[in-house]
């Protein structure tokens, strides 16, 4: 969960590397560094903290001359975020420098072996073993040395390596960590993510696990792990630069919240043709769908909560039991999964380590996996049996927003599509549900516009140590995501509870002035949630309710209101989450938090 970049060409590398690292900073931001090759020497600069510190230290990169280099922005796993633990790491003879994203699982034994052989370690990182291995195996052939070193590594790694003797050459290796090559004219690049490449080129090569590549300014060669050349497949990057920039908003998160009507429309529109849902990328027959006796949805964090929210729609429409499983649990659970299970894997990045492992474990047991992913060509997208992309565009803020709502959109499309194939929906109901679905972008826009008072509510509620989010059924699922948004960006402890559970313990925590966010958009059971509101109010809670605009009953009970437009019940989570994202955003802003890069977090969790 670090970001790596590299450049070789005719321009000075360091300023370009810094630009690339800024785009990747969401992946980790506790320390950073660059290494550049010139005149048979590697120059290095590393700092603790943000890329801005590195830029200041190197005068925007100008202090490090050289046209070939590598860079890194770190999210610490092994060793504290210090200058010495920051990448790049350099070999004892000063000939090689490496940047690494991932985890070397056998680093302790390699470290012992290398120490016995006399190699000196200057950091506590797992990465440093790599550069010493390359030095150990070097006998004049850079590529051979990198291949031999990589063969000794266990774990996940995307590597960029430079050699002082070969100033025009970068070697990169990919194993279970994202790595993309950018194909330029007279210059070539690599990065963890296309956002660092789009400013320079739209031609990309997505390396596969176990592949190496050798980059020079005028060539890219790809090899398999035995050194045999592999044909290159150049793909076009469709994301534009603006999509990866703030576009006038104070934060990426706010921009991405505001983009949701468009993102949901972009996700849905190509799949609605002539009054039908067309899922070209899900080639499954009605007969095969009928054989499915269970759907398991697996993911982490918000993506998992999207699964929890969509479970109600899938079960209601398809009448197939849906089990939601945290990927980090499922992978070790010895799960009851077989060829009659349909696995749905949700991931914005497509690179979350636990989700990848859970998917592979379930596939090993016979399940077929349908991935719902935002990043094209990512590991989950490639490893699944089918992949339906969420066309949300790049999501840069660490806290997901449009990733979540577009995942829900695809899940709703899937639910209606499957229900229709199974014969559970007649023509009229099918057409009605499609009409409701098509209306979601408009309702999302209304939900964005409907609560101009949210910044003031944030002023009232930001000074609290904890908040409760309560609801029932779909409202409860949204409460899970609402509470996560609040805690991860504002650092306020926020707990979500099924409203009916309060009296089984949690109500003991309600005291005078305790904020309770009560979600009341599932009108079939709002009466029940209203009783819970009365219970917490009787104990002094300050209640902020979320309800449909015309719901007068709740208005008379709550201290404050957030409104959403009326929406078809099973689709309500996609609209209901929007004001809660905004509330979390404004509370975090009141608290002076670093909204796009919350502490201790990283965007793409590529380690277990
Ligand atoms: C929270 C958030 C995380 C991610 C989780 C899974 O705002 O963004 O909880 O949802 O880390 O990430 P992906 O979807 O990339 O697998």
Instruction: Quick: pLDDT tens for 127-166.
Output: 999 999 999 999 999 999 999 999 999 988 999 999 999 9
Beta bridge partners of 8: 68, 188
Strand partners, 323: 296
Q: How far apart are CA 243 and CA 214, in angstroms?
A: 30
The band of 555, judged by pLDDT with boundaries at 50, 70 and 90, is confident
Average pLDDT (331-351) is: 95
pLDDT above 80: residue 239: no
Q: Which residues lie with the beta carbon below 6 Å from any ligand 1 atom? A: 300-303, 347-349, 352, 355, 399-400, 403, 484, 488, 604-605
Tokens of 487: 């805690």
C-alpha 603 to ligand 1 mean position (Å): 7
Name which residue sits closest to atom 5 of ligand 1, judged by CA: 301
Lowest mean pLDDT among 71-80, 160-169, 554-563: 71-80
Q: Which residue has the tokens 């929406």?
A: 567
Checking if the pLDDT of 11 tops 90, the result is: yes
Structure tokens belonging to residue 535: 């219970």
Closest CA to 331 of 296, 303, 289: 296
Return d(Cα 449, Cα 447) in angstroms, integer.
6
Residue 228 has pLDDT above 90, yes or no: yes
Please tell me the distance between residue 349's alpha carbon and the centre of ligand 1 in angstroms.
8
Mean pLDDT score, 49-76? 93
Dist CA 143 CA 184 (whole Å): 22
pLDDT-based confidence at residue 249 (cuts at 50, 70, 90): confident
Residues tagged active-site: 2, 603
pLDDT of residue 1: 66
Residue 45: the pLDDT is 96
Mean per-residue pLDDT, 222-236 = 93
Indicate the helix (H) or strand (E) that contains 291: helix 286-291
Q: What percent of the chain has pLDDT over 90?
A: 83
What pLDDT score does 378 carry?
Answer: 85
Atom 6 in ligand 1: residue holding the nearest Cα? 300
Which pLDDT score, from 0 to 100, does residue 26 have? 75
The model's confidence at residue 245, banded by pLDDT at 50, 70 and 90, is: confident
Q: How far is the CA of 103 from the centre of ligand 1 (A)?
A: 19
Computed over every residue of the chain, the mean pLDDT equals: 94
Q: What is the pLDDT of residue 312?
A: 97
């Amino acid at each position: 969960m670090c970001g790596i970049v590299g450049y070789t060409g005719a321009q000075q590398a360091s300023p370009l590397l810094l630009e690339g690292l800024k785009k990747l900073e969401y992946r980790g931001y506790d320390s950073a560094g660059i290494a550049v090759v010139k005149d048979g020497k590697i120059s290095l600069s590393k700092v603790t903290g943000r890329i801005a510190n590195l830029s200041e230290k190197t005068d925007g990169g100008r202090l490090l001359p050289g046209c070939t280099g590598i860079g890194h922005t770190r999210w610490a796993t092994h060793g504290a975020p210090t200058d010495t633990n920051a990448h790049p790491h350099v070999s004892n003879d000063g000939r090689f420098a490496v940047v690494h994203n991932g985890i070397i699982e056998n680093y302790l034994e390699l470290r012992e072996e290398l120490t016995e052989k006399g190699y000196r370690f200057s950091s506590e990182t797992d990465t440093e073993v790599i550069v010493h291995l390359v030095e150990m195996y070097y006998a004049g052939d850079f590529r051979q040395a990198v291949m031999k070193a990589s063969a000794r590594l266990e774990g996940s790694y995307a590597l960029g390596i430079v050699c002082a003797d070969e100033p025009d050459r970068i070697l990169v290796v990919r194993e279970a960590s994202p790595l993309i090559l950018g194909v330029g004219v007279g210059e070539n690049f690599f990065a963890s993510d296309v956002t660092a490449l789009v400013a320079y080129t739209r031609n990309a090569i997505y390396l596969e696990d176990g592949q190496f590549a050798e980059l020079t300014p005028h060539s890219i060669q790809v090899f398999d792990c035995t050194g045999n050349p592999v044909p290159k497949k150049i793909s076009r990057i469709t994301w534009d630069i603006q999509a990866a920039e703030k576009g006038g908003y104070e934060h990426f998160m706010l921009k991405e919240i505001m983009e949701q009507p468009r993102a949901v429309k972009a996700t849905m529109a190509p799949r609605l043709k002539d009054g039908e849902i067309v899922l070209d990328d899900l080639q499954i027959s009605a007969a095969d769908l009928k054989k499915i006796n269970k759907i398991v949805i697996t993911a982490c964090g918000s993506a998992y909560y999207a699964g929890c929210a969509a479970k109600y729609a899938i079960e209601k429409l398809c009448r197939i039991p849906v089990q939601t499983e945290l990927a980090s649990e499922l992978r070790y659970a010895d799960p009851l999964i077989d060829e009659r299970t349909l696995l749905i894997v949700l991931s914005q990045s497509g690179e979350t380590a636990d989700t990848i492992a859970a998917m592979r474990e379930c596939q090993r047991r016979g399940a077929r996996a349908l991935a719902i992913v935002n990043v094209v060509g990512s590991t989950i997208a490639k490893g699944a049996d089918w992949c339906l992309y969420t066309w949300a565009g790049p999501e840069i803020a660490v806290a997901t927003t449009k990733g979540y709502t577009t995942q829900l959109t695809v899940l709703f499309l899937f639910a209606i599509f499957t229900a229709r194939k199974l014969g559970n929906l007649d023509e009229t109901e099918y057409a009605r549900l499609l009409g409701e679905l098509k209306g979601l972008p408009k309702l999302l826009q209304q939900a964005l516009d409907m609560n101009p008072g949210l910044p003031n509510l944030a002023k009232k509620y930001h000074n609290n140590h904890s908040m409760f989010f309560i609801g029932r059924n779909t409202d409860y699922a949204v409460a899970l995501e609402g509470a996560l948004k609040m805690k991860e960006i504002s650092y306020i402890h926020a707990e979500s509870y099924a409203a009916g559970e309060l009296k089984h313990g949690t109500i003991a925590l309600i005291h005078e002035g305790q904020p309770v966010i009560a979600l009341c958009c599932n009108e079939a059971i709002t009466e029940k949630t209203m009783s819970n509101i009365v219970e917490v109010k009787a104990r002094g809670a300050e209640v902020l309710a979320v309800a449909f605009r015309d719901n007068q009953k709740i208005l008379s009970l709550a201290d404050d209101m957030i409104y959403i437009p009326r929406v078809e019940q099973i689709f309500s989570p996609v609209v209901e989450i929007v004001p809660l994202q905004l509330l979390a955003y404004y509370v975090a802003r009141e608290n002076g938090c670093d909204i796009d890069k919350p502490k201790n977090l990283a965007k793409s969790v590529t380690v277990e």
